Structure 1
Amino acid sequence: MHAQPHNPALPETGAPAVNAGMPAQENTVLHGDNMKALSGLPDESFTLIYVDPPFNTGRKQTRAQRTMVRAAEGEGDRVGFKGLSYNTELGSARSYHDSFDDYLSFIEPRLLQAYRLLAEDGTLYVHLDYREVHYVKVLLDQIFGRENFLNELIWAYDYGARAKSRWPAKHDTILVYVKNVKKYHFDSAEVDREPYMAPGLVTPEKRALGKLPTDVWWHTIVSPTGKEKTGYPTQKPEGILRRIIAASSRPGDWVLDFFAGSGTTGAVAAKLDRRFVLIDQNPEAIEVMRSRLPETTTYSEA
């Protein structure tokens, strides 16, 4: 028996409404409480919503900014390309709080807003870790209906802690729900292909073409010294968002991320000719986005 989509009336707030049917005039970043900002956006105006909410680890997340500076031969604290010496300089740390006493009470009203804001052909991606994913899955079944559950994506990586008293946690989970399972947009032809894990078992033509990704994605994290690095502690790699945005939206569609963080969703959306609305209440996130997103992006208080 399928659960019925749960779509109760949402509370009204004093947030100003934008033009009916259009979430914004241009690419927009809103600074402030996402509940207030979401309530001012029009119904069914986004083809794609991606959110990477706090994981509820119970601690403050901090990442110091690291800069690699050339040093005299043999005098650096690490060796880089072609054996050259480098010193690592630590800059100001970026941080955010990742702890809620009742995580579901926090996330539920925001997911209800996501349901309201998705177009009939829209898709929601919710990026979580092992601590909360099973609870949020049940909640999303109630909001969207189990028949509208599309995928559980596993993003696997090999970086970070090396636990010896348990199996080390090396993956995140991305839950995928659609507004209407009979109408949602999905275009696998737009997704970057990847190498076969056993190339000797396929023809040369298939090896050259590559295969479509499955629901398990092997992708590195953002390199601490790579060109994507912003220094923001929860930054996700552009390759993960590129796959999501390419598959579940079209050029010109509106994309929403209301836990925007470092702005990866907006950066990728702009490169793929999508329009975006990003929301975050952390001033450090807004600072990072100002340096990363197209100059034409509009910034305002939620």
Structure 2
Amino acid sequence: MPKSLLEQLSDIVANGRKQAERILESLETRQRVRLQTREVVLPARDSAAQDWVMAQKRAAHQEVFAPGQASLLGSAQATLGAAPGGDAPWMNRLIYGDNLLAMAALLAGDEHTPSLRGKVDLIYIDPPFDSKADYRTKVTLPGVELEQRPTVIEQFAYSDTWADGTASYLAMITPRLILMRELLADTGSIYVHLDWHVGHYVKLVMDEVFGRENFQNELIWKRTSARSDSETYNHIHDVIFFFSKSENLHFETQYGEYESSYLETAYRNIEEGTGRRYTLSDLMAAGVRNGSSGMPWRGIDPNLRGNHWKFQIARLDELDAAGRIAWPKKEGGIPRYKRYLDEMKGIPLQSIWSDINPVASQSMERIDYSTQKPSALLERVIASSCPASGVVADFNGGSGTTAAVAEKLGRRWITSDIGKPACMIMRKRMIDQESKPFYYQAIGDYQVEAAKTHFGKRDFRIGDLSQIVLSLYGALPLPPEANPQRNLGQITGVDLGGRRGSKTLVLADSPNKLTGAATLKKAIAQRDNLLGGWDRVVVLGWNFEPSIGETITALNDDRLEVLVIPPDLLDRLRKKGNSVEKLRGQVRFSSLQYLTLHPIEHTVRGSEETLTVRLKNYVLLSPEAINLDDANRAKLQAVANAEPLALIEYWAVDPDYDGQVFRSVWQDYRGNAANDADPLRVVTQAVLTVPAKHGPRRVCVRVVDVFGFEAEVATTVEVR
């Protein structure tokens, strides 16, 4: 007979602890997980109102944050404040990727970015908790609405989480809760937002991880009004479990408004002259005291009544002189304390929250994200449990409400999500809010980390991953003497021209590097010389240099093909029941997406230079790589053919690209009313006024399409 969930729980927690301990042990090794900064975002909603102070001070005040990566500078640093526990400037962060790896990277830190272990004041998470949810994404293009099924990497936190029901969910969340505890400051707290599906089980896990003694509250949020669509009682509330890391938690009581009926009865007294409402409360409390508060005052001995004064005698005199004591008209009556309504903060909030409505369909804050939580909910949580300028983290970022509210309330923030649509929504939301500059980061060497999870850290080698990629592409490995790195394979058969006996060399590049000009030139040389030469060469890459499109065009070699390895490949292998053999023939290696620009126009007037950047064309990553059915794929292809720039969701410009970190100082995105009233298209021209520069200027443009794929192009503007 299989074990019940309660019987499995001890093993689930024990295994979760072991997984978390392995991650914590790896933090001190050279193989620790790192974060790669994909973009430094300087929100600028309107191209006519740029803040160029940061750009002007970049060269003079440069600080290095990570190997080969430069931070924001000058006045920006002053506004952001110092990192917790150190003097390094703080940058808010939006992280794309598995939150387990994101937390490992934050705990590890590096020589330039200190570890955040014990530095986070508040964590709020709203993890997935409905196993039957439909996670399809609707993509609206001009004249067409597509329904995209999520990629496996985006479903990982959902479908795999439920592979064995609630037991799988608990196995997923346990090590993550342990790492969250490591991130929390001793005065920190965590709020975990759930519902009836798994809430009671997660509470048991949190008791083990944080300690039952640190359980503070089970908060009930009434998220919807009464309904009549159930045969029993309708579920109209969520639960939020509130734990602290220790008994020394930071907490500031929040207050709600009084109900009008209460005010009419409790504060019915109105003071003559001032019109102030007040109520009367007791000046005595039960129990005899020997000190000042037990002494007679104004002829009244509280001890004779078995009571004592609530204040010392001197304080009673002060209150009486200030008119704060109401004396009875009848002799022998007991005076009472006068409390004014305008001095009261309100009713201290209790554990049932019925005064916060969900995000309505017509709400101004609605951004069409299915699990969006109202800002008022996060305002309450953050105001209660995060000190001013403290650090708030949300590792299931979703619609970005936590980050948006933290920004509004002056707190520092970190948020992450495994879904590209969620990260795009959050990035747009923070830009629209005109937030302080922030990092958009990804897990460094994500494929390597996923492979380590699949193979086990001790046994994993890069060559193992290359062998899998070659096998899935249909290539046989070359002999070891000609293939020391185990990244070369061969295919013999019929070529594209119908010739039999053709030989194709296949090179699987490393996920540790950017595939660029050096790799392509080496592949061409190997094609022409290795083992007597080959008819053509195919290069399979994970990550690419921004100028890869220009490089391929410049090489002009029709016997060279460059393809993209599916970014979710390792997640597909990890999925229960999958294997290399099962996936062979099912994995599609796609052509590169790329962006082209019109020649950049620039004029110099005195100390300023004006740049006009215009988008020319965007070629989508092969539609075959997008999880669409045939009908939706045909619709997509029609839009791509007719209006390719309509596929762009977001684009940004760095007018001084250093070749390492993209700093976006101008952005536009679909729905940005500040630049364009068309919600389904971006503007295709950016006009930037920047400080004039002596010598060539490297301008880089990045686009993100509606499916989350990114492309960049960098071009040099020569000074005339």
2:33 aligned residue: 15
From 91, 102, 119, the counterpart of 1:26: 91
Larger % of helix: which? 2
Matched, 1:202 2:202: no
Change (3 A) 1:160 1:113: farther
Counterparts of 1:244-263 in structure 2, within 5 Å, are 244-263=381-400
The structure with the largest alpha-carbon Rg is 2
Change (3 A) 1:201 1:163: farther
Matched, 1:215 2:351: yes
From 106, 109, 133, the counterpart of 1:59: 133
1:301 aligned residue: 442
- 8 Å Cα contact 1:28/1:298 also seen in 2: yes
Q: Distance in 2 between matches of 1:292 and 1:91?
A: 22
Return the offset for 1:64: 6.1
From 138, 149, 160, the counterpart of 2:215: 149
Change (3 A) 1:211 1:61: farther
Q: What letter is aligned with 2:93?
A: T
- 8 Å Cα contact 1:32/1:281 also seen in 2: yes
Q: What letter is aligned with 2:419?
A: N
Counterparts of 1:20-99 in structure 2, within 5 Å, are 21=85, 25-41=90-106, 42-61=116-135, 97=155, 98-99=158-159
From 231, 242, 246, the counterpart of 2:368: 231
1:94-130 Cα deviation digits (max 9, x unpaired): 9775442311001101101111111000000000001
Matched, 1:103 2:166: no
Answer 1 or 2: higher relative contact order, Cα 8 Å, separation at least 6: 1
Return the offset for 1:278: 0.3
Q: What letter is aligned with 2:202?
A: V
SS at match of 2:208: helix
- 8 Å Cα contact 1:46/1:118 also seen in 2: yes
Q: What letter is aligned with 1:202?
A: A
Q: Distance in 2 between matches of 1:277 and 1:271?
A: 14
1:53-72 Cα deviation digits (max 9, x unpaired): 00133332458699xxxxxx
Change (3 A) 1:296 1:246: same
Matched, 1:168 2:231: no
Q: What letter is aligned with 1:50?
A: Y
1:270 aligned residue: 407
What root-mean-square deviation, in Å, do the aligned CA atoms of Structure 1 and Structure 2 show?
3.0
- 8 Å Cα contact 2:189/2:244 also seen in 1: yes
Task: Tell which deviates more after alignment, 13-22 or 146-155.
Answer: 13-22
Task: Tell which deviates more after alignment, 284-293 or 57-66.
Answer: 57-66
Q: Distance in 2 between matches of 1:90 and 1:245?
A: 40
- The two structures have a TM-score, normalised by structure 2, of 0.35
Q: What letter is aligned with 1:300?
A: Q
Q: Distance in 2 between matches of 1:24 and 1:107?
A: 32
Percent identity at matched positions?
33
2:424 aligned residue: 287
Q: What letter is aligned with 2:91?
A: E
SS at match of 2:22: coil
Gaps of 5+ in 2: 1-13, 27-31, 36-65, 67-82, 107-115, 268-276, 278-339, 444-720
From 177, 184, 189, the counterpart of 2:249: 184
Change (3 A) 1:90 1:166: farther
- 8 Å Cα contact 2:226/2:234 also seen in 1: no
1:136-194 Cα deviation digits (max 9, x unpaired): 0010000111000000000013248642312111000000000001x100011xx3523
Q: Distance in 1 between matches of 2:84 and 2:399?
A: 28
- 8 Å Cα contact 1:64/1:90 also seen in 2: no
Q: Distance in 2 between matches of 1:295 and 1:211?
A: 34
Change (3 A) 1:169 1:180: same
- 8 Å Cα contact 1:155/1:172 also seen in 2: yes
- 8 Å Cα contact 1:63/1:232 also seen in 2: no
Q: What letter is aligned with 1:126?
A: V
Change (3 A) 1:192 1:226: farther
Change (3 A) 1:151 1:24: farther
Task: Tell which deviates more after alignment, 23-32 or 215-224.
Answer: 23-32
Q: Distance in 2 between matches of 1:90 and 1:252?
A: 45
- 8 Å Cα contact 2:94/2:427 also seen in 1: no
1:204-263 Cα deviation digits (max 9, x unpaired): 554985322211011110011111101111100000000000010111111100001011
Task: Tell which deviates more after alignment, 13-22 or 281-290.
Answer: 13-22
Matched, 1:127 2:188: no
Q: Distance in 2 between matches of 1:130 and 1:245?
A: 24
Change (3 A) 1:90 1:259: farther
From 189, 194, 203, the counterpart of 1:137: 203
Q: Distance in 2 between matches of 1:299 and 1:33?
A: 14
Change (3 A) 1:217 1:62: farther
2:179 aligned residue: 113
Return the offset for 1:47: 0.5
Q: What letter is aligned with 1:34?
A: N
SS at match of 2:387: coil
Q: Distance in 2 between matches of 1:225 and 1:91?
A: 21
Task: Tell which deviates more after alignment, 210-219 or 253-262.
Answer: 210-219
- 8 Å Cα contact 1:255/1:269 also seen in 2: yes
Equivalent pairs counted in the alignment come to 272
Gaps of 5+ in 1: 1-5, 67-88
SS at match of 1:234: coil
Change (3 A) 1:160 1:55: farther
Return the offset for 1:16: 2.1
